[in-house]
Homo-oligomer: A and B are copies of this chain.
Amino acid sequence: MLAQKYIDMLNKKSVIRELSEYAVARGREIGYENVFDYTLGNPSVPVPDSYNESIVRLTKEKSGMDLHGYSQSLGIREVRTAVAESLNRRFGMNYTTDHIFMTSGAAGAIAHAVRLVTVTGDEVITFAPFFPEYRPYVEHSGAVLKIVPPDTSSFQINFDAFESMINEKTMAVLINTPNNPSGIVYSTDTIKKLASILTDKSKEFGHIIYLISDEPYREIVFTGVDAPFVASFYDATITCYSFSKSLSVPGDRIGYVAINPACPDAKMMIVMCGQISRGIGHNCPSAIIQWAVSENLDITADISVYEKNMNILYDELVNLGFEVVKPGGTFYIFPKALEDDAVAFCSKGKEYDFIGVPADSFGCPGYFRLAYCIETEKVMRSLEALRKFVKEQY
């Protein structure tokens, strides 16, 4: 019989997707350039030329089976080495080849990380606001996702709530910094305090509580922002990375799991990832894509536009009286709506073709997310619509 759980999921429509589809449909009526579509977190800046050049050169230089053959089940060894070296160079770590497992993006990485450290019924804690896909990522592995309510004053961690929720069933804590949807980067103080609690609680409960650090926005950090490398503060850190945002290649499905060498059994955990793959049909990202990123590890697409867009929107939102914490990175900003019901607020915005996403599904009702990975020129034009919307409705 068909698995009912997936049929049930079909009925739960994604708010982000619905609004995105609305924006595209509206674009067909009035021209998409006139729809201020802030719904989707799709990178908007071009892929670096060197990345496409790598692909073209690889097809010419590598023989068929080197390029198109099975990669080893943990990823291509040279690629894993290059990833480790890049992390060490940039963050002062000491990863080796054997601490890196190549994955199909961060989604693939988290699918492995959760299965690595939980069994059915174990708990994973994350912090609101959070990426809604964390729910299927965690729950379909059999683990239970617990959500710590937000600290809306700063969107750092609400530690009091966290400490009251952590218990002997907690096997992992899942964080996302820089954060989707808040745009906030966890400070060094936040990470240190989190690490200290995890260390204490691991001792108290007699098992390691792992820190799964989901970092697809790691390279998108704005001027002067304190953006610590999470793993350097806690031994049992499983870093999940995606190149989707830094290189503007979300469709290429490439990322990795990096396990802190200081984590007990780190190398065995990487080998275990290869076993997990067998049960979920993962079997490595495309070999050609692995090779291509390995030649472009220390560069990014021209992500400066995101900071420019953020500043324009932030200033205008503040001017208009929105309560909003200034983002430290990503391409999201997360203001409080001008009425309690952010769904109603965003619905009114549609009348002005200003399309944001209410944050109920991010675990933070009353707020909305703007994904400003769009052209700066369009951000500028959107301000007039935003002003009119606020003036006429509030």
Contacts and interface: CB of A to CB of B under 8 A. Distances in A.
Interface of A: 1-7, 9-10, 42-44, 46-47, 52, 55-56, 59-60, 63-65, 67-71, 103-105, 107-112, 115-119, 133, 136-137, 139-141, 171, 207-208, 248-254, 265, 268-269, 271-272, 275-276, 278-289
A119 B3 contact: yes
Given A3-B272, A107-B281, A109-B281, 5 more contacts: A2-B117, A55-B55, A71-B251, A103-B281, A108-B283
B282 A70 contact: no
Contacts of A109: 281
Contacts of A139: 279
B42 A64 contact: no
Nearest to A66: B251
14 contacts: A3-B115, A3-B272, A6-B276, A9-B272, A9-B275, A10-B275, A42-B70, A43-B65, A55-B56, A68-B248, A104-B283, A251-B287, A253-B286, A281-B282
B115 A6 contact: yes
B68 A104 contact: no
Contacts of A68: 47, 248-252
Nearest to A103: B281
Residue from the set A10, A115, A248, A281 with the largest chain B CB neighbour count within 10 Å: A281
Residue from the set A3, A139, A249, A268 with the largest chain B CB neighbour count within 10 Å: A3
Contacts of A52: 59
A171 B4 CA distance: 14
A149 to B, nearest CB: 24
Contacts of A269: 2
B265 A2 contact: yes
Contacts of A254: 286
A261 B375 CA distance: 42
Nearest to A140: B279
Contacts of A283: 104-105, 107-108, 253
Contact of A272 (B7, B207, B286): B7
A294 to B, nearest CB: 14
A120 B296 CA distance: 43
Given A68-B47, A68-B248, A6 B104 contact: no
B278 A136 contact: yes
A207 B1 contact: yes
